[in-house]
Structure 1
Amino acid sequence: MTTTVTSPAPSAPQDLKNPNRGLKTRTPGEGRMAAMLLSPTLLVLALVIVYPLISAIHQSLFSAESGLDADGFVTEGEAFVGLANYADLFVGESGRRFLNAFGNTTFFTVTTVLLETVLGLCLALAMNRAFRGRAFLRASILVPWAVPTAVSGLLWRWIFQSDGIANSLLGSEILWTAEGTASKLAVIIAEVWKTAPFIGLLVLAGMQIIPEEVYEAAKIDGAGWWRQLGSITLPLVKPTLLVAVLFRMLDALRMFDLPFVLIGPGKESVETLSMLAWDESNQLRYGSASAFAVVLFLYVAVVAVVFVKVLGADVTGAKKLGSKKRKATRSQKAEATR
């Protein structure tokens, strides 16, 4: 006698209707608790970021003026000028200084970040290898990044002075801290020396999570070191590298303290937008200073948007979270159709 055992029909339609079934959902109470816990941080951010930004935009619409009242006394105040401060950025002496500072800022950002990326990648590759003394190498590489920028500027100013170490080694009398190309080169050298370890550290963190089995499989397939670098290492550390480059570009666009300490204020060859805004505010021209600051903020915002939207830099980790959710959904659908 043959006995037939029938299994219950799978509940595929119900599972397919709700592919997110089994995933943890957030209740309204948890959302309110999260907002309550984040409110102090959001309040601090509003005080230190949103309010100064709104204040700078408001101040950029005014200009300081002085005159004589009906009694012949000198009066000072601010008059609403609208977008006149922004229009002055492209005409006259103010426009010339702005374009010069904008060019210096862009030049320093592109040059230093490019050199720091190449050097930081080389440092990460060196620190990722297993050899005796690797811990000492990692610690020594991070020393320049740990030095405060003002101290670093004073150190390199001592190196680049007329009778300093740089001229002694080169056997020349180059005026590194004066106007000209030499001052630009001095700023680039000092900036790359200080911040290249930052990129190296972040790229090293990305290399540490690459499974060793991937390299072993590549070696079995006959891939050499250069092939492994181009096909495994660089593609897998690309997200980390993009975030590191983004952070460095945003920091370089706001460059102020290093050229200010190393070369000094008022030097056209190294004057950046931050230095120009500081000089304008130091001359009590707060309207134009605020206009420079707002333009710099927009410049930084545009660069950030390009990196996040166009180049795909995952700053918040949302792409990884979305990928995990999609994998969980696909696995649940596969289990439901079995």
Structure 2
Amino acid sequence: MPRPGTTHAKRYRKGIGKARRALAVLLVSPTLTVIALVVGYPVIAAIGDSVHAESTSLDASGFVRRTEEFVGLRHYRDILTGPASRRFWNAFTNTTFFTVSTVVLEALLGVVLALAMHHTLRGRGIVRAGILIPWAVPTVVSAVLWQWIFQADGIANDLIGREVLWTTDAFPAQFAVIVVDTWKTAPFVGLLVLAGLQLIPVEIYEAARVDGASHWQQFIRVTLPLVRPVLLLAVLFRLLDALRMFDLPYVLIGPRKDAVETLTMVAFDESVNSRYGVAAAYAILLFCYVAAVVFVFIRILRVDVLGLHAPVRAPRPRRSGPRRRRRKHHNAGPGEGR
């Protein structure tokens, strides 16, 4: 038999839980509404545009009339296997190549910059400001600056002692894009890794030194495992940015260059030429590509996007001196337990 008041208490707790859930939904609903308007509506509109094509015809009065015709998946078929497939797969390859190469280099260089900013004792503010300046410069300004450096009579050719056409449609153009993007965004990765380094307690390194660990062993077995969540999050941010690369190759090299043309550049070129259905199809394919890469990255490496892992805490110091002996609560004899 349930005790008196038990049913009433359960109903009360259940009602409190429902009220809290309703309050949570009410508080989150404005944010969800803004996200739905800012993100959801453009995606739905792009999907609608990708299955339509504009057609022009003459009406009875002889005026040009533009109408939208439903074409289904024709744009996607043309892009993937049709006449436009060569350009799409070339842009897809360039996008993937730039993403992998730049993100790997930026992650390695970012860790080095973070260690330099973290361990610098004198002039720490000047060092950090100098490292972060490239990241603060707008991308278009950086592209124009490096365009002067990569000119035929620029500094780059003077340093290597030979004339290389860096801004032409060949591998030197790809190399130039990789160099500029790494120079600009590696400080961003370094800044995030620096924040992770500053959260590592000093006591952990002291314990590692007491155990005889060298500097390299401290870096491999202490620093890297503890900054791994922050580093993976920085790499994820850079993946999202690199897959949408547009302004840097567009300004540094130029449009319609097969060596550096990315998916975003192709979609922009199609929209400029008033082929909005094809441009929307390119945008949707890029959206699916980015979503798939991020999903695989998060599931395989288990990136803590929401920050649910507990922060690193320093070990509690042990008490010095003899421990108190606990008394045993049992039937002791007359001379025991005293």
User: What's the TM-score, normalizing by structure 2?
Assistant: 0.83
Match in the other structure for 1:150: 140
Matches within 5 A, 1:1-338: 27-69=17-59, 74-320=64-310
- Between structures 1 and 2, the one with greater helix share: 1
The structure number with the bigger radius of gyration is 2
The residue identity in structure 2 corresponding to 1:210 is I
Deviation at 1:317, TM superposition (A): 1.4
Q: C-alpha deviations, 1:205-225, integer Å up to 9, x for none?
A: 111111111111111111101
Secondary structure of 2:112's counterpart equals: helix
Question: 1: CA distance between counterparts of 2:46 and 2:114?
Answer: 40
TM superposition shift of 1:68: 4.4
Instruction: Give the letter for the 2:167 counterpart.
Output: T
Secondary structure at the aligned position of 1:105 is classed as: helix
Instruction: Provide the rounded CA distance (Å) in 1 between the counterparts of 2:305 and 2:258.
Output: 35
Separation in 1 of the partners of 2:195 and 2:287? 30
Q: TM-score when scaled to structure 1?
A: 0.83
1:237-280 CA distances to partner (integer Å, 9 max, x unpaired)? 11111111011011100001111111111111100000000001
- CA RMSD for the aligned pairs? 2.0
Q: Which has the higher contact order (CA 8 A, sep 6+)?
A: 1
- How far apart, CA to CA, are the structure 1 residues paired with 2:309 and 2:52? 43
Instruction: Name the SS for the 1:210 alignment partner.
Output: coil
Give the 3-state SS of the residue equivalent to 1:47 in structure 2: helix
User: How far apart in 1 are the matches of 2:263 and 2:91?
Assistant: 5
Once the two structures are TM-superposed, the CA of residue 170 in structure 1 deviates from its matched residue by: 2.2
255-264 or 30-39: which moved more?
30-39
Secondary structure of 2:56's partner?
strand
Determine the C-alpha separation between the residues in 1 that align with 2:299 and 2:80. 29
Secondary structure of the residue aligned to 1:274 is: helix
Gaps of 5+ in 2: 1-15, 314-338
Amino acid at match of 2:183: W
Q: Report sequence identity in percent.
A: 57
Secondary structure class of the residue paired with 2:53: strand
Deviations 1:120-165 (A, max 9, x none): 0111111111421122111111111111111111111121122222
Distance 1:69 1:76 in 2: 10
Tell me how far apart the structure 2 counterparts of residues 91 and 259 of structure 1 sit (CA, whole Å).
26
- Rounded to whole Å, the distance in 2 between the matches of 1:130 and 1:72 is 76
**In the alignment, residue 194 of structure 2 is paired with which amino acid?**
L
Rounded Cα–Cα distance in structure 2 between residues aligned with 1:283 and 1:274: 14
Q: In the aligned structure 2, how far is the partner of 1:307 from the partner of 1:91?
A: 28
Letter in 1 for 2:166: W
Q: SS at the partner of 2:84? A: helix
CA distance in 2, matches of 1:316, 1:283: 41
Q: Distance in 2 between matches of 1:119 and 1:226?
A: 17
- Give the number of equivalent residue pairs: 298
Q: 1:28 deviation in Å?
A: 4.3
1:218–1:302 CA distance, 2 compared to 1 (3 A): same
Deviation string 1:168-207 (CA, Å, 9 cap, x unpaired) is 2223221111110111011000000000011111111111
Counterpart Cα distance in 2 of 1:320 and 1:229: 21
68-77 or 182-191: which moved more?
68-77
Three-state SS of the structure 2 residue aligned to 1:318 is coil
Q: Distance in 2 between matches of 1:175 and 1:300?
A: 32
